[in-house]
Amino acid sequence: MGEIKLESKVPKGELAEKWTKYRGSMNLVAPNNKRRIDVIVVGTGLAGASAAATLGELGYNVKVFTFHDSPRRAHSIAAQGGINAAKNYQNDGDSTYRLFYDTIKGGDYRSREANVYRLAEVSTEIIDQCVAQGVPFAREYGGLLANRSFGGVQVSRTFYARGQTGQQLLIGAYQALSRQASTGKCKIYNRHEMLDIVKIDGKARGIITRNLLTGEIERHSAHCVVLATGGYGNVFYLSTNAMGSNVSAAWRAVRRGALMANPCFTQIHPTCIPVSGDYQSKLTLMSESLRNDGRVWVPKKMDDVMAIREGRMNGNDVPEEDRDYYLERRYPAFGNLVPRDVASRAAKVACDEGHGVSPTGLAVFLDFAAAIERYGKAEAFSLGVANPSEAKIRELGEKIVKNKYGNLFQMYEKITGEDPYKVPMKIFPAVHYTMGGLWVDYNLETNVPGLFALGEANFSDHGANRLGASALMQGLADGYFVIPYTIGTFLSGEIRTPQITTDGPEFEEAENAVKARLERLMGVQGNQSVESFHRRLGKIVWEYCGMSRNAEGLKKGQQLIRELREEFYRDVYVPGDMNEYNPELEKATRVADFLELGETMMVDALNRNESCGGHFREEYRSEEGEAKRDDVNYTYVAAWQWTDKDEIVLHKEDLDFKNVELKTRSYK
């Protein structure tokens, strides 16, 4: 392969006018031509469903693929906290620029300015669109939309629907998609997994899928392919991702020439329920909104720590002066609301120093006692209760907290069996989101012409760390408001291209390659389950490429993953048959791809000799132990190519900051 030139294709002009001007001058596809053009969308989460629905509305013939039994089950549904938009409904100084700036700063200056500005710009339209679709956002008594604040920002710009914002937004997008399905503009292929991309003359022209119920390998063609297949957090095995979330679609694109950008930028969410045992299959997130009212702490004295671990006392028994509210101590300006990466790392430091409060030593307290008291007093006052007793204050306070976080508290109690109204919650960071993803330009097109990537599947907007409530924003921005325009830049050149036939040699080759891969996996007939390999991979990635990394560990990690991959193809056991419903085979293809991605992550993390956002290299930190960026040498996107000879090759896109000054992020 020749040298790959990474062109960001960012339009010229003032930052604030780029998108408007570009939209007004880009090439379009006329309605009569749209009818003749086919588009494949893979994935039906927020980005995929919204893109498919909107492209269908515009008149394209859309084929939508999901491995789920229904588009509505995509993991966007699990997002709890909310969605950001620069509406400034609260009159607290929010603006497009501020949202842009917060996102760039929160991302530790490793994202592309123009993309982020566009994201902030269209954020307001997303809220309007969702309200019109009937999304039941939280409202004030006056009937207007309510907002709450989130980590890393100083304004209230997060719109929410209880603790199920992702669900409600996804249902909105799913309904829009269903509407297009009813008109025939979108054809939905449920229970179909994409296993390869088909390129004809260098352009993405189709995909190979496996019908998960019958095992049939199918060819599907289109004028272009849009991937909206989510992130790769499950490379860690334990994450807050759904069990089925995987990297395979994106990775297959990489194996066909696309580049994987910044794969080491993974987000560790600070407030998850701690691991309880080896059998654990996934981690459960507790919305970050809890940090609005919860105070994070660990006991100062080791005696208390040990007593708590052994169950001899609980958090409430520790006197106030023996508690270390370490976030408030270390970051007085933002306190418990520091960005996710900072909060996670601080928890790790507290536990590394031995103050962890669960039997495994890997948990810190998130305490609502102060909030309950504060709300209780205020409520007693507003109800006119004179000299309320402590019990009364508690009762009133618990009621308020229940209104705000009831479903989260309930979920916590279901999982842990402990009542968080009575004893402090125990939390620990867990892998949650991956900022890295397929490299895309301003049009969201990968370096493979005609292959687009949206949402978490691309790398473009969050840099090295994502702010809370921004994932939903990006997914819907890409799907509703960006791709419907930018896809025209490619398709306007394709209006004379007739329908793509699936009979060509390229489809033949891709189908055979898929079959060969499946046969290879089925043929090993070894002794270890797919799950056991996935667990081992996850442990390696978490150990060496988790919350903190160092060169030596990363090299070791890469070596271990290579060995594991070799062992996988020698000793994996996939039961059943290829030509039937076989979830174990599905897992096997996904783990095979995770094994390659995991290695790429190690290489990327080793290459990036700095600490930024979610990527913390122990060698690169300030005297106070905070992350230390190297803007001179690493202000670039590291986009990795996986060659035919299994080499991992770096390509760089330099990031050019014209509108913001690169500063050390400080939340002190």
Residue ranges in 369-428 that form contacts with another protein under rule CB under 8 A: 411, 414-415, 417
If binding is defined by CB under 8 A, does position 217 make contact with another protein?
Answer: no
Q: Which amino acid is at 181?
A: A
Of the residues 484, 553, 557, 614, which one makes contact with another protein according to CB under 8 A? 484
- φ, ψ dihedrals at 396, nearest 5°: -65, -40
Kindly indicate which of the ranges 105-113, 235-243, 383-391, 604-612 contains the residues binding another protein, using the contact rule CB under 8 A: 235-243
CA nearest 540: which of 584, 601, 589, 586? Answer: 601
Nearest approach, Cβ of residue 73 and another protein (Å): 5
If binding is defined by CB under 8 A, does position 333 make contact with another protein?
Answer: no
Asked if residue 83 lies in contact with residue 150, where contact means CB atoms within 8 angstroms, the answer is: no
CA nearest 119: which of 137, 98, 148, 134? Answer: 98
Kindly indicate which of the ranges 166-174, 248-256, 391-399, 650-658 contains the residues binding another protein, using the contact rule CB under 8 A: 166-174
Contacts of 9 by beta carbon, 8 Å cutoff, 6+ apart: 441, 442, 443
Kindly indicate which of the ranges 339-347, 363-371, 477-485, 600-608 contains the residues binding another protein, using the contact rule CB under 8 A: 477-485
Nearest approach, Cβ of residue 75 and another protein (Å): 6
Structure tokens at 345: 């790392």
Of the residues 40, 176, 346, 627, which one makes contact with another protein according to CB under 8 A? 176
What residues between 562 and 581 interact with another protein by CB under 8 A?
573, 575-576, 580-581
- ∠ CA 631-634-639, nearest 5°, is 150
If binding is defined by CB under 8 A, does position 216 make contact with another protein?
Answer: no
If binding is defined by CB under 8 A, does position 551 make contact with another protein?
Answer: no
Instruction: For 406-455, give the DSSP string.
Output: HHHHHHHHHHH---TTTS-EEEEEEEEEE--EE---TTSB-SSTTEEE-G
If binding is defined by CB under 8 A, does position 26 make contact with another protein?
Answer: no
d(CA 126, CA 661): 28
Contact string (CB under 8 A) for another protein, positions 120-159, x = contact: -----x-xxxxxxxx-xxxxxxxxxx--------------
Asked if residue 627 lies in contact with residue 614, where contact means CB atoms within 8 angstroms, the answer is: no
Kindly indicate which of the ranges 160-168, 347-355, 448-456, 642-650 contains the residues binding another protein, using the contact rule CB under 8 A: 160-168
- φ, ψ dihedrals at 445, nearest 5°: -100, 135
Nearest approach, Cβ of residue 229 and another protein (Å): 14
Compute how many residues bind another protein; rule: CB under 8 A: 80
What residues between 48 and 77 interact with another protein by CB under 8 A?
50, 53-54, 57, 68-73, 75, 77
CA nearest 40: which of 254, 208, 176? Answer: 208
What residues between 178 and 207 interact with another protein by CB under 8 A?
178-179, 181-182, 188, 190
Name the one residue in this structure whose structure tokens are 């780029």.
Answer: 18
Whether 112 sits among the annotated catalytic residues: the reply is no
Q: Which residue number, 202 or 576, has a Cβ lying nearer to another protein?
A: 576
Name the one residue in this structure whose structure tokens are 């325009």.
Answer: 485
d(CA 341, CA 646): 32
CA nearest 272: which of 261, 263, 281, 282? Answer: 282
Nearest approach, Cβ of residue 582 and another protein (Å): 9
If binding is defined by CB under 8 A, does position 532 make contact with another protein?
Answer: yes
- ∠ CA 265-354-264, nearest 5°, is 10
If binding is defined by CB under 8 A, does position 35 make contact with another protein?
Answer: no
SS3 labels along 331-343: CCCCHHHCCHHHH
d(CA 195, CA 600): 20
Contact string (CB under 8 A) for another protein, positions 497-516, x = contact: --------------------
End-to-end CA distance of the chain: 48
If binding is defined by CB under 8 A, does position 362 make contact with another protein?
Answer: no
- Out of 72, 112, 219, 340, the active site residue is 340
Nearest approach, Cβ of residue 631 and another protein (Å): 38
What residues between 280 and 309 interact with another protein by CB under 8 A?
280-282, 284-285
Name the one residue in this structure whose structure tokens are 């921004």.
Answer: 470
Asked if residue 610 lies in contact with residue 629, where contact means CB atoms within 8 angstroms, the answer is: yes
Nearest approach, Cβ of residue 295 and another protein (Å): 25
Kindly indicate which of the ranges 241-249, 256-264, 367-375, 389-397 contains the residues binding another protein, using the contact rule CB under 8 A: 241-249
What residues between 86 and 125 interact with another protein by CB under 8 A?
87, 89, 125
Q: Which residues are catalytic?
A: 340
